[in-house]
Structure 1
Amino acid sequence: MDNRFPDALCDRLLDFDENVRKQVVDAICDVSCHAWGFVSDETTRLIAEHLRDKSLLVRSYAMERLAEIFRLHCLMCSEASISSSESNWIPGKILKCFYDKDIRPETIKVVMFRSLLPTEFSTRDIVKHWIAIFSRFDKVEVKSLEKIMEQKQRLQQEMQKYMTLRKVYRDTDALEFQKNVLKSFRVMSRWFADPVKAEECFKILDQLKDVEKSTRS
């Protein structure tokens, strides 16, 4: 295989057509994922530049594919090379998308906490990789992570508020209870990538709890 193949595509990353740019991102990332070591770190960084592409389609796709590259690299990385892995800069670049007004912060959160590291990793592996990742963050990236963690904390607080509502106010004023519950669901759903779907899931969960309570009674 010609080692210049990925580099030959780089010029097309500047194509005026967003679909062409997306296809080039796709091609280079496919090579990186399936031919470990074939695509240089320099070329991968060119893909990362498209996290600021003028097209939301390209920005979002570049973020997904970079997360995939990092995840696969983590699987191939030996324990001794975790801290020195060439791809440890990728999570920081993804975090900076937090300030992209067109990309929901919840989407960044999903990528960072669900897509970035292999699902088969043990807690020990996850901690080791996060230590290596965090050590590479600059001030902006640290601030982005702090903002995401603040959102997770607010979600937990709102969930606790909902549980308190069910426990304390359920049998006092049904209409007021339902009003407060729906308000709580709307607040919590904002912190998910798909707010509409999240709100529906919360409503179903609430109904299931009612059925469970009736069954026990």
Structure 2
Amino acid sequence: MGASPAASRLAVSVIQNCAEELETYADQVDVRIKAVKFIGRLLSLPGHHVAQEYRHLFIEFTKRFSDKSAEVRLGAISCAKAFYVTNPSGTESLEVLSALEGRLLDFDDRVRTQAVFVACDLARANLKSVPRELISRATERLRDKKVSVRKKALQKLLEVYRDYCTKCAGGIITPSDHFEQILCRILMLCYDKDCKDFRGMFPASLSVEEKTRHWILLFSLFDPPQLKALNSILYQKRRLQTEMQVYLALRREEEVIVEPSVLF
């Protein structure tokens, strides 16, 4: 049963008003934030095609990804995930992903961080459909000028890689070079004094056989810089093991020396 003429007229009126608020209130950030979030919810309504039926509204929404206010840009990015989940195909979805990808290079570090978070969440939601270019661009934030962005990008990209490994082990997807490239870029962080802690690259439940399978594919993708990085990591691990062995030996010697005195 379709909507009544009165309800349809009301919906059109509300939508036109939202579009006007985005265009008219250029100097009122709070109004634009509320409008972009409301429009984002409208565009993400399941079972509806608001973005197609009200193209001008959708265009105004995508413009907010490059709004002069960082708060408005953040608001638009926060709507991207819900929109893509309910509209996984079509021209509009590609336009939203393109707008999201552009924010990975935003001059505001908060916006870059949020763009990485949403890009990674979209990848985890559907590893098969997310564009390769989007993930590739997200991995570039591992070399961001801000430490906070690098750390958060590392955290989210590791989550994507672990999900990928789990799905490969379950036969849901097949191993893919572009997801393995995530780990190739993460290995380069061994030279970053602020982001060296990337232990637990694989899911804890992953079998040795599955880990070996991924390492074999990784080695086929390594360039000289990645090989050098891996050798550096292995050297550090060997040195740590050696130092730990020396420490434990000294502890044992101390125990032997102290033990007789306890008798007295």
Q: Tell me if TM exceeds 0.5.
A: yes
2-structure distance, mates of 1:36, 1:91: 16
What do the CA deviations read for 1:17-36 (whole angstroms, capped 9, x no partner)? Answer: 11111011111111111122
% identity of equivalent residues? 36
d(CA) in 2 for partners of 1:80 and 1:22? 28
Question: Mapping of 1:68-107 within 5 angstroms?
Answer: 68-77=159-168, 78=171, 81-82=174-175, 84-103=176-195, 105=196, 107=197
- Could you say what secondary structure the match of 1:170 adopts? helix
Q: Deviations over 1:98-117 (max 9, x none)?
A: 222433x3x13x1xxx1x22
Runs of 4+ in 1 over 4 A off after TM superposition: none
- The answer for the alignment partner of 1:118 in structure 2 is 203
Higher relative contact order (CA 8 A, sep 6+): 1
Q: 2:223 aligns with which of 119, 130, 138?
A: 138
Whether contact under 8 Å (2:113, 2:149) holds in the other structure is yes
Task: Give the corresponding residue for 2:108.
Answer: 17
Is 1:161–2:246 an aligned residue pair? yes
Contact 1:51 1:63 in 2 (8 A): yes
Which of 132, 136, 146 is residue 45 of structure 1 equivalent to?
A: 136
Offset at residue 37 of structure 1 (A): 2.2
C-alpha contact 1:12 1:24 (8 A) present in aligned 2: yes
Instruction: Return the alpha-carbon distance in structure 2 between the equivalents of residues 17 and 81 of structure 1.
Output: 36
Where 1:39 maps in the other structure, the secondary structure is coil
Equivalent-residue separation in structure 2 for 1:69 and 1:37 (angstroms): 12
Structure 1 residue 93, shift from structure 2 partner = 0.5
Distance 1:26 1:138, change over 3 A: same
- What is the CA-CA distance between 1:79 and the residue it aligns to? 9.3
Hey, what's the Cα distance between the residues in 2 that align with 1:95 and 1:3? 32
Q: 1:35 to 1:80 in 2, by over 3 A?
A: closer
* Residue 59 (1) aligns with residue 144 (2): no
Question: Any unmatched runs of 5+ in structure 2?
Answer: 1-86
TM-score, length basis structure 2? 0.58
Distance 1:17 1:158 in 2: 43
CA distance in 1, matches of 2:140, 2:156: 13
Structure number, greater radius of gyration: 2
Cα distance, 1:123 vs. partner? 1.2
